[in-house]
Chains A and B, each alone.
Chain A
Amino acid sequence: MSELVLQHGCAKGGEPYVPQVCRVIDVRDQTHDVKTIRVQTPEGGLPFERKPGQLAMVSLPPYGECMFAIASQGPDYLEFVIKRVGFVTERLHELRPGDEVGVRGPYGNWFPFDSARGRNLVFVAGGIGMPPVRSFIEYALEHRADYGRIDIVYSASTYDDLVYKDDLFQNWPKEPDTHVHVSVYHATDGDGWSGKVGYTAPYLKEVFAEEGLATDNAAAVLCGGPSLYRTCREALLELGFDPADVVTTLEARMKCGVGKCGRCNVGGVFICLDGPVFTEAELARIPR
């Protein structure tokens, strides 16, 4: 088994701060506060090629700019999953097909889909941590033969907060040797959820025990909020994963996207440029 290698983006000249105008072609509600938005160039093309895990800055004049993981790339569009948390995302939620936004990127590195070939993959995500992970899942399913068994462990606060329900319950389970495990933290009568109720980390261990999963020749991909990240990281290491086989994507306030403005600096690393994807082995060397 070869080591997971994170590759970094190539230099991009010209005007790294200036977006290109894109048109919104599709807006869909995922949950009460999450929407997916698809954009393409005014000519109907793909704004740019991205690799799974990379970021892009979406700007909405006159309101502002926000960095998002690119959840998905279609033949002629990019898809973002946007949770309403602040002023700009509130406005982004008002977008409708035909509206124009600015998009710049891609920024950052990507998931080690090359060096992970041949391995089993375990995806662990919570809430709005799914979209970045999804880009890798999508890639792995497109190149299904290149990878071993795929397990997706996904949780959210409530049933409503689960994003990409179609994929979770319809599409992905149909893929060969692909297993989707979903739990919610809180269930109430009539919310439509009849499955597992519980937090992600214990559920993850349960899944490993029940399905008899092994950690050798596996790679884990982790993304979620601070407490989910902390608990699941520990769970994965307890299950026997080597820190070098666990990759995660980080989030920070970003402005420039090209490793200049200093905002997402953690130790010697700029998340927007050197990240957002890191292995646990790398993160261990970065100060808090």
Chain B
Amino acid sequence: MSRIGVFVCRCGTNIAGTVDVDAVAQAASLMPNVVYVDTNKYTCSDPGQASIAEAINENNLDHVVIASCSPRMHEALFRKLLAEKTNVNPYQLEIANIREQCSWVHKDKAIGTPKAIELVAMAVAKVDSNVDLHTTQIPVTRRALVIGAGIAGIQAALDIADAGFPVTLVERETTIGGKMPMLDKTFPTMDCSACICTPKMSEAAAHPNITIKTLSEVEKVEGYVGNFDVTIREKAKYVDYDKCTGCGQCEEKCPQRKIPSEFNQGLSFRTAVYKPFPQAVPSKSTIDPAHCRMLTKGTCGVCSKVCQAGAINYDDVDRVTTERYGAIVVATGYELINWANIYPEYGGGRYPDVISGLQFERLVNASGPTEGHVLRPSDRKEPKTVVIIKCVGSRDPHKGVSYCSRACCMYAAKHAHQYLDKVPDGRCYVFYMDVRCAGKGYDEFYMRTLQDGAIYLHGRVSRIYERDGKLVCVGEDTLSDQVVSVNADMVVLETAMVPPEGAGTLATTVNIQRGPEGWFTEAHPKLRPVETNTAGVYLAGTAQGPKDIPDTVAQAGAAASKAIGLLCRGYIQSNPMITHIDTAKCSGCGACVDICPYGALSLVEMTARENSRKVTRVVAEVNAGLCQGCGACTVACRPGAADLLGFGDEGIMQEVETYAYR
């Protein structure tokens, strides 16, 4: 039978003051299977620990109960003691919390002592049903995958690569960079966005530890922290990147010239074989199969003829590769809300001069379609009156989203400032709900915009219609309580950030959660802001929620440092207190699979001999790398086939009954 040792700590007078420790020890000695009892002045002290180890070894104990302070305090310490100084499995330990939850909250030994005895009895009962558990070290594949190559992904990739680990940077567009290169200037310092972003892009491209995969998407993720097997589909580019020199000859000769440019937000055109913008990385051309005549109709082949490098390959196919990574950083960024669909009162896209903020960025950019001159799209005239509307889609649960997109207040101020700078005689009205400028130098910047002459009106624009070549913006100035109507030449909508298309699929693929608005959910909003509930998967940038560039870059660094920490260690210590499936009881109903927040459970086919017959049936299986040991599945499992090691049904039942019967 088991041989249980009970060690009762006096903790100086912390415990002994209100608990009669000798009486507890005496009572413990009569408990089932208790063969050794001792008391200690300070159990956690070195001599205290040594005496426990000695007692365990001399008396051949196999289960240990320590009645002392909270297990949250010293459980790890005592487990370590058992592991290092005795032959007892460190999980054959239970701690009766007779300090925080007994001696410190009771004043009288007459009350504290019997309670301490009951707590010890419960711990003795539980420890007797404990089984040996073993941690294993799972080696970590020392490579990282970064999904999304906007500024967040690039930064994370660079940080990880600088730490010496190979990184694969996956981007579904033809170039890395994301949204940042589209921006003209960045607030509040007004430095050129492309000037600070493109060097990062080049650095990533040139980094020996970084492999960039553009036009690529993650199709499947299997495995768990330290060992994710990731399948990536790299779409056909129809251009051999090894041969392409990026000379641009093909682009010049391509007959398909009327394709709206994504990079310029539809304000200019591109060709079917193209590079989205001059500084694109990789600096190679790609054929857009949806528009290429050769690929759609089978006749053309101009680019192939002009390409001196012979890089054009119309027979190119998708390449699917599976590789193993230790950590994953998800940095899939954002999209702007499709305002045209939800704001018919703003023309719903009918008026070419109602543009989004990102289109405005392209308009004021020196390398944009207007070479930096503010010319409105419809007639290429300089608008003399511009209305900027904030919170289009944001903070508007009826039409758009309920949250604040955080960057638009500054972005709107920047646009007003840029417009007034370029058109000194222009008038700029900004309709706003609130002005939120918390950030270093942000409020100062807003003040400067006001000084520049921007007119801020508190209220939403209720309608935009065209009259006499003007866009009439009707709104309410709630401060003066008047209906305001502005005849504008151009309207800029500062639209909400929303999760990009495909975020839901990616969440399922990588197995991370999304909040109600669709942003990926961090493991803890305060304490684990870049981790996810899936160990080894980290979040960077706006994938986690709207934020501006400084926050994005900071978070990317944080995510990278978490990934680096994991990769540096080289192994993960598996938590043995996880769910265990008794396949004899499992009927494969999948209730556990449905509720596991970590995707640690799956249904698999099992073949076994049962009653002299070979039977194949479906049972649940636990992925030890993913399970975090919450135990929610053990309750969902009606027959109790799923049980939590360390907090098993039997152990808890022992505690319950021991207390109930006493």
Contacts and interface: CB of A to CB of B under 8 A. Distances in A.
A95 B33 CA distance: 11
A94 B612 contact: no
Interface string B1-27: 111000000000000000000000000
Interface string A227-248: 1000000000000000000000
A95 B1 contact: yes
A175 interface: no
Interface in A64-120: 91, 94-96, 99
A60 B2 CA distance: 12
A100 to B, nearest CB: 9
A190 interface: no
A226 interface: yes
A96 B3 CA distance: 9
Contact of B2 (A94, A226, A227): A94
Nearest to A99: B1
A99 B1 CA distance: 7
A133 to B, nearest CB: 22
B582 to A, nearest CB: 12
Interface residues of B, number: 4
Contacts of A96: 1, 3
A80 B242 CA distance: 76
Contact of A226 (B1, B3, B612): B612
B121 to A, nearest CB: 15
A87 B2 CA distance: 14
Contacts of B1: 60, 91, 94-96, 99
Contacts of A99: 1
B270 to A, nearest CB: 66
Nearest to A62: B32
Interface string B583-617: 00000000000000000000000000000100000
A211 to B, nearest CB: 32
Nearest to A92: B1
B314 to A, nearest CB: 57
B649 to A, nearest CB: 13
A93 to B, nearest CB: 10
Contacts of B612: 226-227
B64 to A, nearest CB: 15
From B1, B2, B3, B612, residue with most partner A Cβ within 10 Å: B1
A95 B1 CA distance: 4
Nearest to B650: A87
A265 to B, nearest CB: 18
A91 B1 CA distance: 7
B609 to A, nearest CB: 10
Interface in A16-52: none
A44 B3 CA distance: 23
A24 B3 CA distance: 15
Contacts of A91: 1
Nearest to A230: B612
A178 to B, nearest CB: 34
Contacts of B3: 96
Contacts of A227: 612
Interface in B463-499: none
A208 B612 CA distance: 29
B344 to A, nearest CB: 70
Contacts of A95: 1
**For the complex of A and B, 10 pairs with smallest distance between CB atoms:** A99-B1, A94-B1, A94-B2, A226-B612, A95-B1, A96-B1, A96-B3, A227-B612, A91-B1, A60-B1
Interface of A: 60, 91, 94-96, 99, 226-227
Given A60-B1, A95-B1, 8 more contacts: A91-B1, A94-B1, A94-B2, A96-B1, A96-B3, A99-B1, A226-B612, A227-B612
5 contacts: A91-B1, A94-B2, A96-B1, A96-B3, A227-B612
